[in-house]
Structure 1
Amino acid sequence: MPSKEFLKGRGAQKNTSNRFLQHVYEMREDFLEFCRLEGEEAESNKTKYIPIFPKTIVNKVDSPDVGMGYSMNPYQGCEHGCIYCYARNTHEYWGYSAGLDFERRILVKESAPELLETKIKHKKWKAQTIVLSGNTDCYQPAEQRFEITRKCLEVFLKYRHPVGIITKNALVLRDLDILKELNKHQLVGVNISVTSLSEKTRRKLEPRTASIQKRLKTIQVLSENNIPVNAMLAPMIPGINSHELLPLAKAVADHGALSFGLTVVRLNGAIGQIFSDWIKKAMPDRAEKVLHQIQDCHGGTLNDSRFGTRTKGEGKIAEQIHEMAHLAKKRYFKGKTFPRLNMELHNQYKDGQMRLF
């Protein structure tokens, strides 16, 4: 049974120290006891939206492990609260914690559509797929309120520019009208993250995400509209969801996905501490076993930052995961391919309308 201390509705169960800050903020036991006796909350669990004003929005991705050249993130921080999320560490650059702050302090870039338009209209820019959500989910709950992602998709359509999307939220179907228009010109591909077929597991790992059934339905609806879908069965966590790889692959294939990708979980930076604290509270009966199996995939440590191996893992457990993935592709995805996006149209539309000469 989960610990009584478990904070429902959030992934992380505490705020870790920010490695870039000189001072450490801690809540003392006597203060917590005082709040309890007074019937007061020690801190608010509500999400705060904080506007920020970046100078640029499109980021070049240099990592050889990620599989994208450029990305953009309308939001920093993510209310989905996925406990394993590698993006947590980036919240420290903004002066926040990678723990609860990452889920409760969402930085909002309302100028993103204008910044994107400036970028792709630049005379030196040549069309390359820009991925929405290389870091944090562009369809997280904040999108219902701000609609920044939708406005960015309108920019991509206006300038006939290729765009990729990564999400685990069914909210992407709200923008089906724009996605269908983009797809007429082969300008969009969608990646839907599906990490488990068990709602119990999903609620623990990813507390504020769409249900598994909604995600599978999202894949189905997109596929029925001929919008190409790749399923991200990631991360695979030994002892939690790695045994589901084959049924997961079958499920996404049955619902229309053309391909799938995966990674083996890695707990770099502050995530190792956050995940370890979480699993001892959420799954105390198997905590040590899971942590040891993750270590077995990364040379005896939770933190692996080596290019080429950090997302694949190594050792027997990682090898078994990749062998199952190979089998799944042969069994469920034979003859299917995820199409290349169209890079040829954008240059004709840089001024907002097709050039005649």
Structure 2
Amino acid sequence: MKAIRTALLTGTFADLKGRGARSNRESRFSEAVHEIDPEYLEHAHQAAGRDENRTVRDFAQSTGIAPQAALGPAQSRARPGDEDTAWQAPELVPTIKTCVTQEQARTIISRNQSPDVPFDRSINPYRGCEHGCVYCYARPSHAYLGLSPGLDFETRLFAKSNAAELLDRELRKPGYQPAMLALGANTDPYQPIEQDLRITRSVLQTLAAFGHPVAITTKSALILRDLDLLQQMARQNLVRVLISIGSLDRKIARTMEPRASAPARRLEAIRQLAQAGVPAGVIVAPIIPALTDQDMEAVLEAAAKAGACRASYVVLRLPLEVRDLFVEWLRESAPLRAEHVMSLVRQMRGGRDYQPGFGTRMKGTGAYATLLRQRFELACRRLRIGQQHDALDCSRFRVPEPPEAQQRLF
């Protein structure tokens, strides 16, 4: 307890059980000013139509989410060493419990016009992510809530408990035109709290009832819990799954993605999905130069052997506060390689730590980025893994009878 109290006072944790970030760094909204940032799909629709200088406090009042506090019915969860995750918790380091706040969202489908992603709409059942991946590009979205993109992002979570109800309502709107919907564009839909809350499963049940296509991205083997639903939807060409694996090195995964499923469990998820007839692919992400880039071919080979039919990759992205959080972790976890890693990152980013522009943020630029692309394409050809996804079927979309109408029949 003394170690935890000291850490809370300083804001920095040298060694923290099962967490990716090492500190709660200040966000860019330290003066409580809300600025529109199109970088994050989750928040693009929330900012639309609002004053660019609106304060976080105003935002909190309108959404019912309090800055720097977890309001409403909350749950505290201490995650011990889980056999499904990459980390096994040591006994003598401080623990921070996860606090989950039930949020009554106002809308659930987020829209975007990004040319970098193959979808124009997405659903995120949760804000924040307990996986705690230190490199996560979505971390800065927590600043919109007046919370830190650091430890707060992975310990102070918000669950949209009315997600399925909102989705049903939005899909019933007159004139709604179906198109592939992405599940997990911002935070992982199968993060550990989903095991108990089952919000993602309720969303899938709603999509299945409407015959609506969905693409799921996750790094959790928990997705196998919903194999019954996924298999049913796959028979109608309504679903595909992408499993994210950046490295097969368990040690790297344990420190960089502390509460995500271990790489071997993710490969097993691909195998079981493929055997069940669910189209499963792999995203090699993030590729971190001089740290995980040497694993690219090994990840692709293992995924192909497991049954992956498609593959893609994304290089390390360090927007806004993520840069400082990642560098802090890097200097602690790989001090001898830290400067070399960041030097190569800048070579891929035009001399900067990050390029936020469309067309460059996912793959980077320059000679090193070109070499990664060539290696990826060569490996995919050798392993006969496709790089383009087959289209899902939108023609099966139907609006079912509302539950109350069905009840009247009886």
Query: TM-score, normalization: structure 2?
Result: 0.78
Counterpart check, 1:103 vs 2:154: yes
- 1:199-258 Cα offsets, whole Å, 9 max, x none, are 011112101010111100000000001100121111110011111111111111111111
Write the distance in 2 (CA, Å) between the matches of 1:61 and 1:333: 32
Tell me which amino acid in the other structure corresponds to 1:21.
S
Identity of aligned residues (%): 38
1:6 corresponds in structure 2 to: 15
Write the distance in 2 (CA, Å) between the matches of 1:190 and 1:341: 12
Change in Cα spacing, 1:316 to 1:337, as seen in structure 2 (3 Å) is closer
Write the distance in 2 (CA, Å) between the matches of 1:79 and 1:57: 20
Counterpart check, 1:302 vs 2:353: yes
Cα root mean square deviation, aligned: 1.9
Write the distance in 1 (CA, Å) between the matches of 2:101 and 2:336: 38
Write the distance in 2 (CA, Å) between the matches of 1:236 and 1:334: 18
Query: Contact 2:380–2:387 (CA<8 Å) still a contact in 1?
Result: no
- 1:59-92 Cα offsets, whole Å, 9 max, x none, are 0122211222111000000010111111001111
User: Displacement, 1:44?
Assistant: 6.5
Count of aligned positions: 332
Query: Contact 1:88–1:102 (CA<8 Å) still a contact in 2?
Result: yes
Write the distance in 2 (CA, Å) between the matches of 1:337 and 1:311: 16
User: Displacement, 1:333?
Assistant: 2.1
Write the distance in 2 (CA, Å) between the matches of 1:206 and 1:323: 27
1:122 corresponds in structure 2 to: 173
Tell me which amino acid in the other structure corresponds to 2:19.
R
User: Displacement, 1:334?
Assistant: 5.2
**1:51-70 residue pairs with structure 2 within 5 A?**
51-70=102-121
User: Displacement, 1:21?
Assistant: 3.1
Task: Indicate which of 325, 332, 343 corresponds to 1:281.
Answer: 332
Change in Cα spacing, 1:7 to 1:334, as seen in structure 2 (3 Å) is closer
Counterpart check, 1:168 vs 2:219: yes
User: Displacement, 1:122?
Assistant: 1.2
Task: Indicate which of 342, 345, 349 corresponds to 1:291.
Answer: 342
1:225 corresponds in structure 2 to: 276
Between 1:142-151 and 1:5-14, the stretch displaced more is: 5-14
**1:72-87 residue pairs with structure 2 within 5 A?**
72-87=123-138
Write the distance in 1 (CA, Å) between the matches of 2:289 and 2:401: 47
Query: Contact 1:74–1:109 (CA<8 Å) still a contact in 2?
Result: yes
1:241 corresponds in structure 2 to: 292
User: Displacement, 1:335?
Assistant: 6.8
User: Displacement, 1:105?
Assistant: 0.6
Secondary structure at the aligned position of 1:276 is classed as helix
Change in Cα spacing, 1:161 to 1:239, as seen in structure 2 (3 Å) is same
Secondary structure at the aligned position of 2:215 is classed as strand
Counterpart check, 1:145 vs 2:196: yes
Query: Contact 1:228–1:338 (CA<8 Å) still a contact in 2?
Result: no
Query: Contact 1:169–1:209 (CA<8 Å) still a contact in 2?
Result: yes
Counterpart check, 1:182 vs 2:182: no
Structure with the larger RCO, 1 or 2 (CA within 8 Å, 6+ apart)? 1
Query: Contact 1:194–1:215 (CA<8 Å) still a contact in 2?
Result: yes
User: Displacement, 1:184?
Assistant: 1.6
Secondary structure at the aligned position of 1:347 is classed as coil
Tell me which amino acid in the other structure corresponds to 2:103.
I
Between 1:135-144 and 1:302-311, the stretch displaced more is: 302-311
Between 1:7-16 and 1:94-103, the stretch displaced more is: 7-16
